[in-house]
Amino acid sequence: MRLLAEAGTPARALVHSPDKAAPIKRLGLEVAVGDFEQPDTLDAAMAGCDQLFLLSPVSPRQPRQEQHVIDAAKRAGVAHVVKQSVPGADPDAGLVFGRWHGQIEQSLAQSGLAHTLLRPNYFMQNFLMSAQPVAEQGVLYGMTGEGRISYIDTRDIAAVAAQVVTSPGHQGQAYMLTGPEALSAAEVAKRLSAATGRQVRYVNLPPDAFGQALAGAGMPGWLVDGVVEGNTLLAAGHGATVTDEAARVTGRPPRTFDQFAADHQAAFGGQPS
C-alpha cells in the first residue's frame, strides 16, 4: 500500500476491523471494512475497483475465503486480479499449502477473470520470528539442513505487486519470485554474524523437536504440521531455484540477504554503529 500511495495511485485496503484502518488512512488511501467469511461485505469493498490484489492469512479456510473474494470480484466487474500464491501450487500438491493455493488458482482460472499469479519463495522476514534466540543465544534454530533456499525480501514482493497492478502486460502470467541467491541455513547464520558483529551459529533440529518448538511458541497444530512438511521439502533442495523475474518486472535487482540482515541487525542483537 505504501508504494501505491507514494506513486499517487488511488487504492482501497480491506481491513477486518476499524481499528486496523489508521495506518492506511495516514497514507492517504481509502479503507473498507469487510470479512472474507461475509461475502456481502466484499461487494461494497470492491465497488468501483478495476484491479484487485488478493492475499489472505494462511488457514484451512483459505480456499473458501478467497473463493468468496473471487466471486465478489466477478460480481463487481473487476478487470484484473493479482493473486499472491506459493511455488508448486497445485490442487494435487503434496504440501498442504500448495494444495490450498492450487485450489484457489484453479477457482480463479475457472472464474474467467483476467489474472496474474505471484509465487514468491520463502520470505527473508520469516527469520525475524527467530530473532530472539539469535539475539539472546547467538543461535539460529531450524530444520532445513544443508538445503539451499532462494529467500526473497517481502519488500521486493510488494514492489512486484505494485508494478503488476499499475502497468499493462502481466495478465495471464505466473511469476516465480526469488532473491538473487540460494543460501543454506548455515550461510544465513554467517550473514547474520557479519551484520550483527557477533557470532551466530546454526543448529539443525529433527522434525519432532522443531515441531515441538513451534507448538510451544503457540502455533496451532495444523500450522505446525504444514511448516514441518514444508521445511522437509526445503531441506531436500526444493527451494533452491533462483529466477530473475522480480528484477524483470520491477527493473531493479531484488535485495540480497546481506541487505536484509543489515536493515534488521538490531532485531538480531546487533549494536548501532
Phi/psi of residue 164, each to 5°? -70, -35
The segments of the chain whose pLDDT lies below 50 read: none
Partners of 80 in the beta sheet? Answer: 51, 114
pLDDT cut 70: percent of the chain above it: 99
Look at residue 92 in the predicted model and tell me its pLDDT: 96
* Cell output for 30: 481509502
Burial zone of 22 (CB within 10 Å; 0-12 exposed, 13-18 middle, 19+ buried): exposed
* Cell output for 103: 485450489
CATH classification for the domain delimited by 2-120+154-178+245-250, as one of 3.40.50.300, 3.40.50.720, 3.40.50.80, 3.30.565.10: 3.40.50.720
Phi/psi of residue 253, each to 5°? -70, 150
2-120+154-178+245-250 matches 121-153+179-244+251-273 in fold: no
| 172 and 116 Cβ atoms separated by less than 8 Å | yes
In a 3-state reduction of DSSP, which class is residue 171? coil
Ranges of each domain in the chain: 2-120+154-178+245-250, 121-153+179-244+251-273
Measured CA to CA, the distance from residue 138 to residue 218 in angstroms comes to: 22
> What are the Cα distances from residue 32, in Å, to 90, 133, 173?
31, 38, 28
Look at residue 102 in the predicted model and tell me its pLDDT: 97
Partners of 116 in the beta sheet? Answer: 82
| 132 and 126 Cβ atoms separated by less than 8 Å | no
What pLDDT, in 10s, does the model give residues 46-82?
Answer: 999 999 999 999 999 999 999 999 999 999 999 999 9
Burial zone of 205 (CB within 10 Å; 0-12 exposed, 13-18 middle, 19+ buried): middle
The fold of the 121-153+179-244+251-273 domain, in CATH, is UDP-galactose 4-epimerase; domain 1 (3.90.25)
Look at residue 273 in the predicted model and tell me its pLDDT: 61
Look at residue 50 in the predicted model and tell me its pLDDT: 95
